[in-house]
Amino acid sequence: MELIYFPEPGGRYPDDIRMDGVTYHVYSDYAALPETVSPGSVFVLSLADRDSAFRLLHALRQDPRTGLQPVFTTTAFGFPLDQVSDGRVESALDAYTRARAIVDRLGRLDESVFAPGASDQLRILGYLYSRPELHLVPQRLWSSEGFYSYPVLEAMLGTPQLVATRLLALCDRKLLRRGQLNDRVRHCPACDGAHLNFVDLCPNCRHLDIVQQPFLHCFTCGAVAPEERFVDQDGLRCPNCYASLRHIGTDYDRPLENFSCTSCGHTFIEPEVQARCMHCTTLTPPDRLTPRTVCTYELTDLGVQAAESGTMEDVFALLDTVNSVSPTYFLNLVNWLLALARRHNEERFTIIGLRLQNMVELNARLGQQPVLDMMDTLATRLRELVRSTDLSTRTGQQMFWLLLPKTGQAQHRIVLDRILALRNLLPDGGGIDFETVVFSAPEDMQPDATGKLLLARLE
Ligand SMILES: [Zn+2]
Ligand SMILES: [Zn+2]
Ligand SMILES: [Zn+2]
């Protein structure tokens, strides 16, 4: 283990604590760090100044070389800074003790996770992998654009938008799962902002300046107007027909309308409610806002495997060159095709799934480059096989799906045979091994099937 210490300007590391197997380094700042930093490093920031600590912590988390290692401070800074760090320590011994479990687990990660070009997704997996008891809990933060924030991920990736995109992609790939549901936030459909102000408006001219006041309804002429316009020195008199109004229920009553617009004079029962976006000023009716759930995220078993195998994700990502769409989009299309097939007897389509069996094992045996080459060949052949109207997606790390619209059982056999022939691409059984699963509509259709259920059953 390497203990890297950042003291106050002019301060120095207390050298009275020495532990076996621990080396010590002192650096004045992030910029002073050497080119290579060991994944087994532990950082201690002995800074009392919040701004300096903020800058250094964010610089360390953002850099793939240093982003996953334990970072401690000697001062407690409160939320959200203490969530970006791994907390406050009392001494070097304290840092050593608390860092050990994290450093052990970081040692099991593929080294590509720490490479300067490491992907955001891999780094998120690595962070959670090294802190297994930690779940990503959204933190309520009124000053954040989306009201909720994942401070450590924002420090690592830079922007909340990027964090949201990556979390969605990781869930799509089943590397993360959504845990507890914490909240539901509505967003502006124009700019995705969450800071909304709900305003009551005139339903006629949408002006903001409306007043609520008691109204009267004259039975003689039917006029409806604010009560103040009926008041006369002798009592109540209709401002329209000048009838004297003496008895409620006989001469007049109180109508449902009790709002009037000072701009256009319109009188109405209920104002129109609109949400004004405080970012882009767009007005949106509440039911047209985009609801989004805010939840806790946890690593799945597949996510654990992905973190351990490192850039394996890059290997699988080669398949994204085969007319690929996101899993969500793919499922929506399957739902639509299922609905079509239920309605029209002649409608048919086929889904072929490839379950890649031995990628992690191949990677361990042959190293990454040969596996990348094999996958590239497989992806190229698949691209030659599919028509421009066929689509593909990946779920998890091992399932690759092809959607063949307008393709019935008779025609899909040809495609399937060609896919199975790809298994013999590499001699000596040294290649990529996969199994196939097939679904054909309408033959295999079940009455309750949805795209999601269907893929889950096939997988
Ligand atoms: Zn907006
Ligand atoms: Zn009247
Ligand atoms: Zn108006």
Q: What is the C-alpha to C-alpha distance for residues 351 and 335, in angstroms, rounded to an integer?
A: 12
pLDDT at residue number 184: 94
Q: Given pLDDT bands bounded at 50, 70 and 90, which one contains residue 311?
A: low
Q: Given pLDDT bands bounded at 50, 70 and 90, which one contains residue 178?
A: very high
DSSP state letter for 324 = B
Q: Is the peptide bond before 80 cis (omega within 30 degrees of 0)?
A: yes
30-44, 84-98, 356-370, range with the lowest pLDDT:
356-370
- Ligand 1 centroid to Cα of residue 285, in Å, is 13
Tokens of 302: 């597949």
Which numbered ligand comes closest to the C-alpha of 236? Answer: 2
Its ipTM equals 0.83
- Ligand 1 centroid to Cα of residue 271, in Å, is 22
Identify the helix (H) or strand (E) that includes residue 417: helix 409-421
Residues 6+ positions from 146 with CB-CB distance below 8 Å: 160, 164, 185, 187, 194
Neighbours of ion ligand 2 (CB under 5 A): 218, 220-221, 223, 238, 240-241
Tokens of 261: 């617009």
pLDDT, mean of residues 386-402 = 85
First to last CA, the chain: 42
Which numbered ligand comes closest to the C-alpha of 240? Answer: 2
> Which neighbouring-strand residues pair with 268?
259
Is the pLDDT at 16 greater than 80? The verdict is: no
Of the candidates 85, 97, 107, the one whose C-alpha atom is nearest the C-alpha of residue 17 is 97
- Ligand 2 centroid to Cα of residue 204, in Å, is 24
40-44, 110-114, 312-316, 323-327, range with the lowest pLDDT:
312-316
- Ligand 1 centroid to Cα of residue 269, in Å, is 29
